[in-house]
Amino acid sequence: MRYLWLCFVVFLAITTKALTCLAKDNRGERSKINYIVFNNDTTVRRDTTVKDSLLKDSTNFIKKRTIYNFFTDSVTKKPYELSLFPAVSLQQLLKGKFAGLYVQEPSGEPGSVQNMFIRGAPMPLLSQREVYQSQPLVVLDGIPIITEHPFAFDIQQYEFNRPGPATNIFAGIDMNNIASIEVLKDLAATAVYGPRAVNGVIVLSSKTPGASRSITFDSYIGLAQRPQVTTINGKYENAFRQRFYDQYTTNGRYSDDENYPIYLSDSLNNVYSGKADWSDLYYRNALVYGINFGISGGTNRANFRFSLGDMKNEGVADGTALNRYSAMFNINMKPVKWLLFSTMVNANRLDRTRNKNLRDRFAQINYFPDLSAPLPPNKDYYANYLKEYQKGFDNNKTNIIDGYARIGVEFGKFNFSTTFGVDYNEGYRDVFYARTLLQGNSYASNYFGFNQRLMLDNKATYSFNLNKVHDFQMEVGQSTQWNIYKYSNAYAYKGVNDFIKINLLNSDPNDPNYLTPVAFPRELTYRFLDKTRDNLVSFYGKVDYTLKEKYLLSVTLRADGSSNAQPTSRWFYSPVVSAAWNIKKEILKDNTTVNDLLLRVSAGRLGRLNAYDNYAQGPQYTASVGYTGNLTVPGYNAFGVLTRPYSTGWIGYGIPWSYSDQLNLGVDAGLLNNRLHLSVDWYNKDEKNQLIGIPAFAEYGYKQSIESGMAVNNSGIDVSIAANIINHKNFGWSSSLNLNHNTNKLKALPRGLNEIIIGDKLLKVGQPVDQYWLLVNDGIYTSNDQVPVVNGQPTKYNGIPLQAGDPKWRDLNGDNAIDNNDKILTGHSLPKISGGFDNNFRYGNWSLNLNFYFNLGRNLINQEMANRFDFINREGNSDVNSVKEITYWEKRGDYSKYPLYNPWSTVIPYRVDQNLFLENASFLKLRTVLVGYDLTKTLRRKSINVTRFYVYASVNNVFTITPYTGQDPELVNYNGYDTGYGLPIPRTYTLGVKMEL
């Protein structure tokens, strides 16, 4: 650590000296320096000359609408403040920053996948498919970013992690290269991006080159603090279980139980009952740092910007880490006044060190060894396990590249641009586990997959004014997108030894080792290849009209054709209408209190793409069962066979496009000399004609029928308030609050059904889609006499008589039987209210920022506690529910809140589908405390001509206030279940500098 700090200081000193000299040498070439106010800090900016219009032109071809901001509730933010947070991914940076944007962070593991939802989930989140189809579109400089398709989940039994590196694609965005961020939420803003924007759009605009020379250096270094945990050992576990034996066994001694686990039965075994010091090897204080260097310059005819970045974020648990290496290049050329060439290339390399979770490993290799004894809590034995793990490897690499080439022409009021864009990411995962980890059964795996999007976009705009009263802007556009998702995955068991770690998969019959591979037996080698592709062709026209800058009207018409739609429904037509009334200019012109007052309304329809190409094909057969336990290797008595798609379901004809009808009503106000800004939006979104699997056709071998007709409604309010409370020369205080209140409801199901059961969820028309379906727990029967008896029969659970020690589940329908009919829909996995609260203070050159993040009205199922108490049914089985991580020896949760049920009861009293484990997971987090000092004026007084020099220190993830008894209310899966496998989100301390010359 000392060496890293020394390197950082030396590097900073050398760079500062070199850039200072460069600044002095070029001082005579500089244009005029102007002071501007940004975030209540006085900063400086270098303005371009009148001739240097290239910067403006390069952005006009992307978005040139004179009344754009009147029609949308989008919020634009400068990412300068976001880049001060030592985040890994875009999701972490945006969390709590925009009203209506909700971010899920199920694990603090660097580089792991997080989810985003804008204005609620548009459909029930039943699997990774629905999560994928609910994500907003992220656009970088006009390029819609492609993400990993969930179709690879079809080759595995569990959805814990996607095959391959499973790295968050949006961890490849360096915020130091971004100039602005917009979150577009209503159709007035999103319609021009087409059906991929039906869930909202996050628009990232990179920093564009300037005609004057500029050099930037941004860097931070910090420490992620290991969490404080309470470790336990076998003696503690025995004491925990002894209470159940005392109450529900004859002799009250677990030592007399022949089924009692051996690793706990010997209290003199120091491996399990001795010192529990494993946490020193599992948790650590971790290093985080980031460096970005950029240079830009040019002339009024051509300019460029180039940047290099390096980021490392180590996790505080399980040795996890993410390294990112990034490079970005922008160039603009304007050979003549009316012609512009522009290009951008953004390249990133992500190297991820993954967790060593047993659950994830066993689920990935489709093999469960003997689970009768877990990893011991002893440090020495755990160290030996890690040493065996190091005999193998788990390499995860992701390469990301995106870019565009754009040609734009401008003839007076007519503009035309054509853009060719590319977005490509590829992932590699090479795995080898030594036989000592798997009871003599070594394992090797290789994965390669890529996602590719090519885009051709043409756009023309024409604007004119009539009598200086009527403003018109017309825009027509056409785009074509080609998407390919492909992967190849292979794995093999029982290699010849632990020194040959490469799985030599031979497909050439002429190879001499084709029948007898050198590394692994041929009969234990499995290969999987799959590819899906889809194309999207779109045409749109848009007209904006303004009358005296008081009344505004916009109409957009789209036609979108998708290859994933069925032949009878290839095209979908979308109308969107927006209007605005500038009340300030109409009736409050002389009012000094109200500076701006605008009323907005938009309504329209936008199609929703089918994510899977098989929906376009009609009835089909799919290999989906197998003798090896893998879902895609069908067979009977070891012979491959053709099978019906039991898991995929029947897919018929006549499936139309699903679509979203949206209505938005908003008001924007600026008050008190624009010291107070208020934006309020009410919205209503109806998602119609969505696909869902209906249990059907069991007589033909199917589990379900994929049918259209599901409808989901989301409605709510977005509120954004920003106040410049104090703005004196030496002291300032500004504050901002954003929040979203959202409710959802299931409006319809296919075939006119009122309800269906899918897995552990009940979907019922008229009820929210994010509720849990649970039994109501009213306590415990302490004696058999307390169990209700009707006509001589005691109350039963699914035919099993209840007795002393069983839960007192509420009989809601009064039939003296507890079953699914007595379950209720309760709680919400998504927050009713979410948002963020920022406070910025300025004193002289000092600044202080306090950022809060909150979720309210949200509930979680504490599955980790259910698993802990259900030790009888989880002990020693060879399945994923019996896997115990090293964190099994960590005290979590509040044991005192759960009754002592009879764990041997066949009703499974600690089953997870009851409100006993449903908890209020509302929380308030102090996410950031940041103190900074602006040295710009000080350095300029010393004749060091810097544009900005800012140093800061921050503490992140400071504290959490919550009634939730688990480890962190954020560490939850998309379905609302806290399994306990999420790695902690650490408290991080950073020191940083931002410099521009």
pLDDT of 805-857, one tens digit each? 999 999 999 999 999 999 999 999 999 999 999 999 999 999 999 999 999 99
Is residue 581 within 8 Å of residue 551, measured between CB atoms? yes
pLDDT in tens, 233-282: 999 999 999 999 999 998 878 777 778 988 998 877 889 999 999 999 99
Q: Tell me, what's the pLDDT at 221? A: 96
User: What tokens appear for 447 in the block?
Assistant: 């994965």
CB atoms within 10 A of CB 518: 12
Say how far residue 24 (Cα) sits from the centre of its chain. 45
SS3 state at 136:
coil
User: What tokens appear for 20 in the block?
Assistant: 């200072």
Is residue 341 within 8 Å of residue 332, measured between CB atoms? yes
Higher pLDDT, 542 or 68: 542
State how far the Cα of 494 lies from the Cα of 435, in Å rounded to an integer.
8
Check whether 7 has a pLDDT greater than 70.
no
∠ CA(96), CA(97), CA(101), 5° rounding? 70
Question: Could you tell me which of 872, 890, 952, 900 has the C-alpha nearest to residue 377?
Answer: 890
State how far the Cα of 888 lies from the Cα of 376, in Å rounded to an integer.
10
Higher pLDDT, 15 or 719: 719
Q: What is the rounded average pLDDT of the residues 602-613?
A: 94
H runs (alpha helix) in 541-694: 583-587
Higher pLDDT, 131 or 28: 131
Say how far residue 17 (Cα) sits from the centre of its chain. 41
Residues making up the chain, counted from first to last: 997
Is residue 74 within 8 Å of residue 942, measured between CB atoms? no
**How much of the chain, in percent, has pLDDT values that exceed 70?**
88
Q: Tell me, what's the pLDDT at 647? A: 64
Which pLDDT band, with edges at 50, 70 and 90, does 33 fall under? very low
Flag the least confident range among 21-30, 72-81, 887-896.
21-30
Which pLDDT band, with edges at 50, 70 and 90, does 631 fall under? low
State how far the Cα of 695 lies from the Cα of 372, in Å rounded to an integer.
37
∠ CA(128), CA(134), CA(137), 5° rounding? 120
∠ CA(717), CA(719), CA(721), 5° rounding? 170
Check whether 640 has a pLDDT greater than 90.
no
State how far the Cα of 753 lies from the Cα of 709, in Å rounded to an integer.
10
Pairing outcome for strands 796-797 and 817-818: parallel
Check whether 329 has a pLDDT greater than 80.
yes
CA R_g for the chain: 30
Is residue 478 within 8 Å of residue 522, measured between CB atoms? no
H-run or E-run covering 471: strand 470-493
Q: What is the 3-state secondary structure (H, E, C) of 267-312?
A: CCCHHHHCCCCCHHHHECCEEEEEEEEEEEEECCCEEEEEEEEEEE
Which pLDDT band, with edges at 50, 70 and 90, does 19 fall under? very low
Q: What is the rounded average pLDDT of the residues 290-318?
A: 93
Check whether 802 has a pLDDT greater than 70.
yes
State how far the Cα of 524 lies from the Cα of 517, in Å rounded to an integer.
10
SS3 state at 156:
coil
CB atoms within 10 A of CB 254: 18
Is residue 519 within 8 Å of residue 444, measured between CB atoms? yes
Residue 108 makes CB contacts below 8 A (sequence gap 6+) with 315, 316, 317, 971, 982, 983, 984, 985, 986
Tell me how far apart the terminal alpha carbons of the chain are, to the nearest angstrom: 30
**Residue-range domains of the chain with CATH:** 80-226+284-618+653-768+922-996 (2.40.170.20), 619-651 (no CATH), 776-820 (no CATH)
CB atoms within 10 A of CB 758: 15
State how far the Cα of 415 lies from the Cα of 474, in Å rounded to an integer.
10
State how far the Cα of 632 lies from the Cα of 239, in Å rounded to an integer.
45
Q: Which amino acid is at 309?
A: G
Q: Which amino acid is at 779?
A: G
Q: Tell me, what's the pLDDT at 41? A: 32
DSSP string covering 221-283:
EEEEEPPP--B--HHHHHHHHHHHHHHHSSS--GGG-TTS-HHHH-TT-HHHHS---THHHHB
Check whether 393 has a pLDDT greater than 80.
yes
H-run or E-run covering 951: strand 948-961
Which pLDDT band, with edges at 50, 70 and 90, does 73 fall under? low
Check whether 26 has a pLDDT greater than 50.
no
Is residue 834 within 8 Å of residue 97, measured between CB atoms? no
Is residue 228 within 8 Å of residue 234, measured between CB atoms? no
User: What tokens appear for 19 in the block?
Assistant: 């850039």
Which pLDDT band, with edges at 50, 70 and 90, does 50 fall under? very low
Check whether 532 has a pLDDT greater than 70.
yes
866-882: buried (b, 16+ CB within 10 Å) or exposed (e) per residue?
bbbbbbbebbeeeebeb
Flag the least confident range among 3-12, 83-92, 284-293, 600-609.
3-12
Q: What is the rounded average pLDDT of the residues 529-550?
A: 94
Say how far residue 16 (Cα) sits from the centre of its chain. 37
Is residue 867 within 8 Å of residue 966, measured between CB atoms? no
775-791: buried (b, 16+ CB within 10 Å) or exposed (e) per residue?
bbbeebbeeeeebeeee
Q: Tell me, what's the pLDDT at 147? A: 95
Higher pLDDT, 5 or 824: 824
* Strands of 817-818's sheet in order across: 800-801, 796-797, 817-818
State how far the Cα of 837 lies from the Cα of 739, in Å rounded to an integer.
9
User: Which residue's entry shows tokens 């889609």?
Assistant: 769
- What does residue 959 show for φ and ψ, rounded to 5 degrees? -155, 165
Please, what is the average pLDDT of the chain? Answer: 87
SS3 state at 748:
strand
Check whether 2 has a pLDDT greater than 70.
no
Q: Tell me, what's the pLDDT at 875? A: 87
Higher pLDDT, 652 or 522: 652
306-327: buried (b, 16+ CB within 10 Å) or exposed (e) per residue?
bbebebbbbbbbbbbbbbbebb
Q: Which amino acid is at 68?
A: Y
The number of helices, as runs of H, and strands, as runs of E, in the chain is 15, 45
SS3 state at 557:
strand
Burial (CB < 10 A; 0-12, 13-18, 19+), residue 719, is middle
User: What tokens appear for 672 in the block?
Assistant: 């008190």
Report the greatest alpha carbon distance in the chain: 101
